[in-house]
Structure formats: structure tokens, C-alpha cells
Structure 1
């Protein structure tokens, strides 16, 4: 599987990464999914301290231990579970980040994290303090690089201006083209990569297509619009190939995108997504058609 450089770092991630949030909490089942990803050539694994109260990190770390030095391991911080586990609160403070990283390292069974990401963020956060925490962790050798996971333009702009982050994880798909207007060009200009999530738009861009549609529609698409747009995409672009291929290749057509993160609850999903990521790239004509047919939406909030 092809690899792309993550920002200006020396990390080269596979064009498809495994989002580990949806893997089974059963160790044997989780390991099978991760082993399948390894067999498909995937080297980029994304987890978070929030997932399954930290159990996800433990499972991922254990499965990757034999090949740790060859893998890019990413996790996230910022959401603090309440003691009774009834929910979580947001805490981007320096003290919490520097405390929590040690628990993540222990669960992951490693002495360093390749990419440590802020798991959210608002413009009201103490940004300078948060950035200082990441910079200190990097200097201390606990993390190699850091990034943020956010779709808030106002937050992204501030981190671009004030930090040395190498990546931004954000939702991006054919049905959610909001990053194209301002986020992708800004990040490209500063040599910062995008790691995308949600490329299949909750299954709407898979071969199950309208089976996944609801009365509420999707983002600023009504159900009626989805019923019109999706079959046209299938007819004109996905003829002879899976819709998943089209969806992933659309993301990968943008050079600012380093990797597309897809979740998987089965080995079959991993194999299908890997085949899609390694399939034929979209032509300029196909990309142009997709953009004419779909909405070039922009972020309405967090200005």
C-alpha cells in the first residue's frame, strides 16, 4: 500500500489507516481485525484514551507490540471520563495532558507515541498552554509529533498560526466537502497534512447507499436530494467499481490528505477498504463531475 508523508514530519503513513474505535472489545476478535490490517499493508492505527475507557488503547497496543517499531501509532487526549463513567468533560489543560499521556503510554505498552492529537477543542481553550504541553512532551521524548482533531475553522487557524502541529484530523467526504473551501488550502500552504475521517458518510457512500439514508437526510442534504444525487453518482462514476472505491479515492485525490481513516468491525471490512484505497485513482473528469453534482458547502459555525 502506498504511503504519504505526514506534514513536515518523518512519518510516512499508509493511504488507508485503521480507525480502531469500532473494533471489538474482545481481545481475540480485536487482534484478528488488526492482524488483517497488517496483512493488507496498513501501518497507521488511530485510537484514543476515550474509547472504551482506555480498553481500546490496551487492545491496540498489545496487538501491535511485535511490530511496534514499524507502525505509526496515533492516539488522542482532552476528554476526561467522570469517575462514575457516566460521561466525560473537556480538559485541554497542560497539567491534564501531561498526566494523561503517561496512562496512554502504559495502556499502549510503548514508551513513545508517534502522533498525539488533541481530541476536539474550542476557541475558548487555553491554546498556548495546550501547545506548550505538546511541545514539552515532544522534547521529553514521550511523543514524536502532535496534531489536532477538529472541524472548527477558528481553532484550526489558531493552531496553524501558533503551533508546530503536523496534522489535522477532520471529517471529509463527497457529501461533506466543507474542508475544501478554507481548511485544505490553508493547511496545504503551511505543509500540514489532513487525516480524514467519515469518508463513507455513515454508509451513504458505500454500496448499501440509500439503505443507510434516514428521513433527516445528511448534513445539508435532504432525503430527497440524497435520493437524487447518490443514484447519479452510482450510474456515472461507480459503474464497474464499488462506491467505497469512489469515496476513498475522492479523498485521496487531494494531495493535502495524507491518509483516510476508516473504522472496521470485521476483517472483511478491512479487506474491502484496503482494496478500495489501492484501486484506480479518479480521473480529473470524474472529480469534476462529482464536484458539479454535489454541494460545495462551507462551515457555518465557529467563525
Structure 2
């Protein structure tokens, strides 16, 4: 599998990464997924301290402890669970980040994190303090690089200007092309995008029309628009999953598509899509069929 530089970090990551949030808590089933990923050249594994109150990090740590030197491990920080409830509050302060990294390291059974990401971000944050926390962790050797996971244009622009982030994780797919407004700017700044949601809740798979039968549409697509778009995309390429994956990877700013998997078969489907040829002409036709919306909020 091809690997790409992750921004200016010196880290190379596979074009398909495994989003670990969907891993089952049945250990043999989860091991089968991770084994499939490793055997096919996936080296990027993404989790967060938010997922299941840290239990997902514990699972990932157990599954990957024997492969640590061969993988790039990414996690996220900023969402603080209330100790006595299921409520979450936002906390991007330096003291919290410096404390929480040690909890993540323990759960992940490692002494360093490759990519530590701010799991959100707001303009009301003291970003200088947040950035200082990440820079301090880099100097200590506890993290190799840092990034943000955000779709807010104002937050993205702030971190591009004021920090040494290597990456931005954002939702990006043929049905959600809003990031295209910023991809050239991000790439020109020497940073990378890693994507989530590139299969658009499974709509951009070969069972997409069945999933669209709920009549709810998707983002600004109403029911009729969504079904027409999916039908048109399927006429362009017989494997809609492949068209979706390669349309995102075609942009040079995108380093990796982060794909979730709750079974080994589901991951194999994504890997088969990655191995399926899609032409530049098919990608251009697909983009003519889909909307290029803009983010309407969080611009100032």
C-alpha cells in the first residue's frame, strides 16, 4: 500500500488508515480486523480518549502492543468525561492536555504517541496555551507530531497560522465536498488532511441506495437529490466504494482515508475498493454530479 508524508512531520502513513472507534470489544473479532489491516500494509491507526471513556484506547493498546515499531498511532484529546455521569465537557487547557496524555499512554501501552490531535476546537479557546501544551509534549518526546480534528474554518485557519500542526482530520467525501475550499491552502502550508466519513455513512458503497431508502437525504441533499446522485455515481463506476475512496485520495493534500471497520469482511471491502482502478476522468465526472457546498458557520 502506498504511503504518504503526513505534513511536515517526517512520518509516513498508509493511504488507508484504520479508524478504531468501530472495533468490536470481542477480542478475537477485533484481532482479526487488526491482523487484516497489518497484512495489507495499513500502518495508521486512529483512536481517541473520548471513545467509550478510554476503553477503545485500552483495546487498541492491547491489539497493537506487539506491532508498535511498525505502526503510526494516533489519538485525540480535549473531551473530558464527567467522573460521575456520561456528560462530556470541552477542555483544551494546557494542564488538562499534559495530564491526559499520560492516561492515554497508559491505556495504549506505549511510551509515545505518533500523532496527538486536538479533538475539536473553538475560537473561545486559549489557542496559545493549547499549542504550547502540544509543543511541550513534543520536546519531552511523548508525542512525535500533533494535529487537529476539526471542520471549523476559523479554527483551521488559526492553527495553520499559529502552530506547527502536521495534520487536520476532517469529514470529506463525494457527498461532502466542503473541505475542497481549503485543501490547496492546507497543502501549500505543508500540512496534510486525513479524512473521516469518506463513505458518507455507507451511502457511498454498493448498498448505498438501500441505505438511502430512509428518505432522510444527506446534508444539503434532499431525498430525491441523494438518490439521483447515487444512481448517477453508480453509472460512472460499478464499484461505488472504490469511486468514493479514490475521489478523496486524488487530492494531493489528502494523506490518508480513515476507514472504520466492525468486522474483517468490512475492512476487506474497503481494501478491495482501494485496489480497484478508478480513472481521473471518472473522478471528474463524479464531481460534476455532486455539490461543492461551503461551510456556512464558524467563518469568523
- The 8 Å contact of residues 243 and 283 in structure 2, kept in 1 or not, is answered as no
**Deviations 1:198-220, CA, capped at 9 Å, x for gaps:** 00111110001121123221000
Separation in structure 2 between the aligned mates of residue 227 and residue 13 of structure 1, nearest angstrom: 34
Question: Partner of 1:61: helix, strand, or coil?
Answer: helix
**Deviations 1:9-29, CA, capped at 9 Å, x for gaps:** 111100000000011122222
Question: Partner of 2:271: helix, strand, or coil?
Answer: helix
Separation in structure 2 between the aligned mates of residue 282 and residue 50 of structure 1, nearest angstrom: 38
1:52 aligned onto 2:52: yes
Report the equivalent of 1:282: 279
**Deviations 1:96-151, CA, capped at 9 Å, x for gaps:** 00000000000000000000000011111111100000000000010000000000
**Deviations 1:37-68, CA, capped at 9 Å, x for gaps:** 11121100000001111111111111111110
Question: Partner of 1:210: helix, strand, or coil?
Answer: helix
Moved more, 167-176 or 201-210: 201-210
1:295 aligned onto 2:291: yes
**Runs of 4+ residues over 4 Å off in structure 1:** none
- The 8 Å contact of residues 47 and 76 in structure 1, kept in 2 or not, is answered as yes
Report the equivalent of 2:70: 70
1:127 aligned onto 2:123: no
1:201 aligned onto 2:217: no
Report the equivalent of 1:211: 210
Question: Partner of 1:67: helix, strand, or coil?
Answer: helix
Report the equivalent of 1:36: 36
Report the equivalent of 2:96: 96
Give 1:279 deviation, angstroms.
2.5
Separation in structure 1 between the aligned mates of residue 139 and residue 243 of structure 2, nearest angstrom: 41
Report the equivalent of 1:9: 9
Unaligned 5+ segments in structure 1 are none
Tell me the TM-score normalised to structure 2 length: 0.97
Report the equivalent of 1:246: 243
- The 8 Å contact of residues 121 and 150 in structure 2, kept in 1 or not, is answered as yes
Moved more, 213-222 or 255-264: 213-222
Size of the aligned set, in residue pairs, is 298
**Deviations 1:262-291, CA, capped at 9 Å, x for gaps:** 1000000111111212322432x2222112
Q: CA RMSD in A?
A: 1.0
Unaligned 5+ segments in structure 2 are none
- The 8 Å contact of residues 35 and 63 in structure 1, kept in 2 or not, is answered as no
- The 8 Å contact of residues 209 and 227 in structure 2, kept in 1 or not, is answered as yes
- The 8 Å contact of residues 25 and 55 in structure 1, kept in 2 or not, is answered as no
